């Protein structure tokens, strides 16, 4: 069943990419292929500031060659009441550092420098606490189409998680996945973003791995010249051998890019769990800056 799910998902993505490529072939963008980390994109040729924040869905845009970008939570708080316990997780910043390698490829690293997890068992009243460094994520985003123009954009965004967190915060396992950000420009300045993702996660009871798939569907639209609003539905299917878990959330967010500072973004949002297996509330505030 799992190979069938993956084949169908990535077959659909390939079809979208093929159709979009044919659409864009009629109006190719200016050639920026010569720009690299060592021959940076001139300021006049930079794309409009684009981030993977604030929603769960990542964008297909990459950082221009030779440019450096930081995207981070200032604080991120999650409150979860599943599995018979009340758990609060707080990330004190959570920076993602991005470096443009070519016109369509960037490298990214993400790690939360300090995480606290506090959980109280409702039956026994026992409280457990953990804190420390988060896990390290290393990503490479490759845009396939639409980085500079067109109404459709698609990218491949593989990643690996390196277990740098203590056992009280993380699970101590190397895990990996592939995200495929897709974005469509719709009438009246709306944008539709999809983020199908497949992950290999550690089994809870042994050292093996199992499949996890997720799909965020996000709509965004400028609310003014400097503010953009986002609404999102997110779903996740975790095929854990000891117990299949389904999660879903309804997410609201906003982002502000000041007119006088087009390389800076302030954002915030709230994610609301839609079933008892999903954290009830997650709220965050974040910033991004291109240098």
* Whether the predicted pLDDT of 21 surpasses 60: no
Whole-angstrom Cα distance, residue 117 to residue 133? 11
* Whether the predicted pLDDT of 229 surpasses 80: yes
Whole-angstrom Cα distance, residue 49 to residue 45? 12
| pLDDT score at 217 | 98
* Whether the predicted pLDDT of 225 surpasses 70: yes
What distance lies between CA 173 and its chain's CA centroid? 20
Q: What is the pLDDT of residues 117-169, one digit of tens each?
A: 999 999 999 999 999 999 999 999 999 999 999 999 999 999 999 999 999 99
Mean pLDDT of the 257-278 span: 97
Whole-angstrom Cα distance, residue 244 to residue 98? 34
Could you give the count of Cα atoms lying within 13 Å of 137 in the half-sphere of its Cβ?
21
With cut-offs at 50, 70 and 90, classify the pLDDT of residue 16.
Answer: low
Whole-angstrom Cα distance, residue 142 to residue 136? 20
CATH code for the domain in which residue 202 is found: 2.40.128.130
Asked which of 7-11, 42-46, 89-93, 281-285 is least confident by mean pLDDT, the reply is 7-11
Bond preceding residue 54 cis, omega within 30 of 0 = yes
Counting the structural domains of the chain, the total is: 1
70 closest CA partner among 108, 30, 37: 108
214 closest CA partner among 192, 197, 191: 197
Task: Residue 280: give the domain boundaries.
Answer: 2-27+35-290
| pLDDT score at 83 | 82
Residue 138 near residue 112, CB atoms below 8 Å: no
Residue 139 near residue 105, CB atoms below 8 Å: no
């Amino acid at each position: 069943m799992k190979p069938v799910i993956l084949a169908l998902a990535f077959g659909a993505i390939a079809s979208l990419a093929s159709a979009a490529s044919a659409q864009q072939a009629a109006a190719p963008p200016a050639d920026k292929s010569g720009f690299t980390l060592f021959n940076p994109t001139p300021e006049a040729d930079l794309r409009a500031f684009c981030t993977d924040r604030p929603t769960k869905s990542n964008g297909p845009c990459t950082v221009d060659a030779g440019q450096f970008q930081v995207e981070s939570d200032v604080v991120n708080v999650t409150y979860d009441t599943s599995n018979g316990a009340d758990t609060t997780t707080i990330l004190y910043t959570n920076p993602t550092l991005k470096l443009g390698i070519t016109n369509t490829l960037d490298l990214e690293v993400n790690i939360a420098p300090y995480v606290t997890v506090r959980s109280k068992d409702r039956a026994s009243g026992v409280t457990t606490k953990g804190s420390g460094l988060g896990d390290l994520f290393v990503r490479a985003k490759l845009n396939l189409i639409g980085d500079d123009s067109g109404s459709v954009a698609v990218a491949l965004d593989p990643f690996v998680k390196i277990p740098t967190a203590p056992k009280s915060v993380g699970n101590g396992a190397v895990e990996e996945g592939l995200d495929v950000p897709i974005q469509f420009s719709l009438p009246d300045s709306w944008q539709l973003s999809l983020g199908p993702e497949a992950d290999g996660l550690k089994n809870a009871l042994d050292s093996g791995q199992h499949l996890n798939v997720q799909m965020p569907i996000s709509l965004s639209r400028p609310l003014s010249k400097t503010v953009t609003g986002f609404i999102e539905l997110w779903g996740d299917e975790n095929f854990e051998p000891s117990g299949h878990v389904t999660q879903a959330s309804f997410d609201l967010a906003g982002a502000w890019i000041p007119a006088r500072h087009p390389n800076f973004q302030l954002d915030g949002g709230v994610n609301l769990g839609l079933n008892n297996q999903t954290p009830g509330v997650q709220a965050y505030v974040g910033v991004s800056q291109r240098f």
